[in-house]
Chains A and B, each alone.
Chain A
Amino acid sequence: EPEVTQTPSHQVTQMGQEVILRCVPISNHLYFYWYRQILGQKVEFLVSFYNNEISEKSEIFDDQFSVERPDGSNFTLKIRSTKLEDSAMYFCASSDRLAVQGEQYFGPGTRLTVT
């Protein structure tokens, strides 16, 4: 069964450093998403991406964040200058249809720890 993969599974970084979280969505999917989940809290939408551009973003997704699909398979989330409060699990998801029509499939997540 096709699945979304994410690397690394755990990333430790110092405050102020840049991190790039990587995702490989399911191959025939067209819509890509990043979410975060702070420990003990709910899953929060960050950004959706379609046709090589951001389609929607939340208020969390400020100028410190960016996304990119550098090739035909990878989808990345970059945090330019990490803060302690960026520590969370980051999930990538993909779908073959718009959110209104289709279910999203999540990767296993990257646990980001900012020290």
Chain B
Amino acid sequence: RKEVEQDPGPFNVPEGATVAFNCTYSNSASQSFFWYRQDCRKEPKLLMSVYSSGNEDGRFTAQLNRASQYISLLIRDSKLSDSATYLCVVNRPGNQFYFGTGTSLTVIP
């Protein structure tokens, strides 16, 4: 089983829509969780950390369900600039990260 699994999409949504991405991880000992975004041929950029209680940053909300080993990202009021690939990233015990394959989002005018 892969360390981190994501639906690759693509998700094509109109501007203003709400879209949700899901991610599952296999190692129950994983300790830290993040969402990164990656634009085409660019480096991953941190979008937000994911905390156990859930957290929000403007239009973005992240949730963590440790029992189900599941992470989600909700984007409200989608903007054209949100078009990117969203990467779910999980830290296993130890100093390394595991990346999902990413979910592609295109926001359509």
Q: How far is the CA of A107 from the CA of B42 in the complex (A)?
A: 9
Interface contact A50-B95, CB-CB below 8 Å = yes
B27 within 8 A of A: no
Residue from the list B41, B96, B101 in contact with A41, Cβ < 8 A: B101
Q: In the complex, which of the residues B42, B46, B87, B99 contacts A44, with contact meaning CB atoms closer than 8 Å?
A: B99
Cα separation A89 to B44 with both chains bound (whole Å):
12
Residues of B within 8 Å of A91, CB to CB, are 43-44
Contact A109 to B43, CB < 8 A, known contacts A42-B101, A99-B32, A101-B32: yes
Measured CB to CB, the nearest residue on chain B to A43 is B99
A43 touches B96 (CB 8 A): no
A75 near B: Cβ within 8 Å? Answer: no
- Nearest-neighbour CB distance to chain A for B52, whole angstroms, equals 13
- State A35–B98 Cα separation when bound (angstroms): 10
Does B12 touch A at the CB level, under 8 Å? no
Residues of B within 8 A of A (CB): 31-32, 34, 38, 41-46, 49, 87, 91, 93-102
Q: Would you list the 10 A-B pairs with minimal beta carbon distance, nearest first?
A: A106-B43, A43-B99, A48-B95, A42-B101, A99-B91, A100-B31, A45-B96, A99-B95, A55-B95, A103-B46
Besides A42-B99, A99-B91, A100-B91, 6 new A-B residue pairs in contact (Cβ under 8 A), listed by A number: A42-B102, A44-B99, A56-B94, A91-B44, A99-B97, A100-B93
